[in-house]
Amino acid sequence: MGYVAVKGGQDAIANANELVEYYRLKGRTEPVRLDQVKTQFRLAIDRAMGEGSLYAPEHAALALIQVEGDSFEAAFHLRAYRTTLERRYYSEVMNTREMIVERRISSTFREIPGGQILGPTRDYSMRLLEPALLQQSLGSIDTFLEKVQGYLEPEKLHGITTFGKVIDLFQAEGIITRETQEGDNRRVVDVTREAIKFPAPRSAVLQMLARAETGGLMCMGYSTMRGFAVGHGTIGELRVGRVPLRVVDARGRRRYLGRIKVTECEMVGGAAKRRAAKRGEKNGRSSSKERPTLSVGYGLCFGQNETKAICMGMVDTALRSPDPLSPASSQEFVLHHTECVEGYGFTNHLKLPHYVTFQSELDNIRRVVKAGEQKPQAVTG
């Protein structure tokens, strides 16, 4: 039985598009409104914006509604939309010391300047399904909001706005340095405008990681902790909040654009090996004159996505300590395989017709089989 090419034309594709829309709506419930998704699916939106590489909550909400909540598709839709946009400006370097903090914790010190602020998190919840949510109404929501807002002390609201960073404490003590690796200070590339080349400068690495797929990045980050790389870092600081963005316009004036919410993480690791390696010293030991320092891995992504920021920090550390046994310290391995649109696109291209390539494979196998069958006959005959 031979393989027969399945014919599928434009009609079939049009029908498939219509049918998937039918499946989205066939339950005949009230349409989900954009503002509902925007306010109640905050974390899904943050994730879609991060992976879609576009800070646009309304567009992300629309994407999520349109694709029935598929995070890969939502990111894909946002990326497709962003390619139609022109990059008119590059912002000034964002300073996260200006962040209006909603949540910030450190696992390196109990006492940090400004204190630990748990903020909005499900980290300490019991992970029990909550059937009471099914009884919620606007009335019960209002009661809850009033209760929580009642905790606010208006006179203190504007007291504290920003916090010093934990990393600055390390730096003041000289435990970490501002020293960069060779090539770190090359020109800042824009991975959204030019294809990535290896070895990629740190600017490209961090940009790629910031828009990487959360699950893929977690896989890489987790592998570094389980023994496939340098080891288990510690969270120097993890903070979530809104940071001001500014651009310089064509006339040279500094313009305030607004704030974007980001999650930032600094992973502090074991003694940094790279200094010794770079200076070509034996056995990787630093000379006695040189102070040992800690390595720092940096993570930053749109919205509140702490898993991603932490994993980005771990992977950044791994990438800066090359190790042939560690997949997570190979730039090409990490950056290509955590790229959500490339990975998703390439995986799904498998569903497209491969009739010709497969037919040629099949022809080869049949030829070999046929040759094998004929050979004994030739000998006996």
Partner 1 sequence: MGREAAYDEVFDGQAHFRALLDSTARPGALNFLTPVQIDPPAGLNRATALIAFALMDGNSNFATVNMTQSEGSYLAANTRARRTEIDGADFIFASGDEAPEFLEAACCGTLLYPDTAATLILQIQDAVVQIQDAPERPLTGGLRLTLKGPGVDGISALFVRGIRADLLLALQARNAEFPLGLDAILTFVDESGRACLAALPRTTHVSWEKC
Whole-number Å distance between alpha carbons of 230 and 322: 9
DSSP type of residue 226: I
Contacts with partner 1 in 87-106 (CB under 8 A)?
Answer: 87-88
Q: Look-up: residue for tokens 């070509």?
A: 280
Task: List the one residue out of 243, 234, 340, 240 whose CA is nearest residue 297.
Answer: 234
Q: Which of 195, 352, 371, 378 binds partner 1 (CB under 8 A)?
A: 195
- Please give the helix or strand (H or E) that residue 268 lies within, else none: strand 254-271
- Asked whether the beta carbons of 165 and 108 are under 8 A apart, the reply is no
Question: Is the Cβ of residue 89 or residue 346 nearer to partner 1 in the bound state?
Answer: 89
Q: Which is nearer to partner 1, 171 or 192 (CB)?
A: 192
Could you tell me which stretch among 71-79, 83-91, 114-122, 165-173 binds partner 1 (CB under 8 A)?
83-91
The residue within the footprint of partner 1, chosen from 11, 30, 86, 155 (CB under 8 A), is 86
Q: Which is nearer to partner 1, 197 or 251 (CB)?
A: 197
Q: Is 197 in the site for partner 1 (CB under 8 A)?
A: yes
The neighbouring-strand residues paired with 268 are 234, 296
Residue 87 C-beta: closest distance to partner 1, Å: 6
| CB count in 10 Å sphere of residue 105 | 20
187 contributes a contact to partner 1 by CB under 8 A: no
182 sits near partner 1 (criterion: CB under 8 A): no
Of 84-92, 136-144, 296-304, 313-321, the segment contacting partner 1 by CB under 8 A is: 84-92
289 binding partner 1? (CB under 8 A): no
Is 120 or 345 the residue whose CB approaches partner 1 more closely? 345
Tell whether residue 251 is a contact of partner 1 (CB under 8 A).
no
CB contact set of 341 (below 8 Å; sequence gap of 6+): 75, 76, 79
The pair of structure tokens assigned to 293 is 């320092």
What is the C-alpha separation between 233 and 321, in angstroms, rounded?
13
Residues in the site for partner 1, rule: CB under 8 A? Answer: 86-88, 193, 195, 197
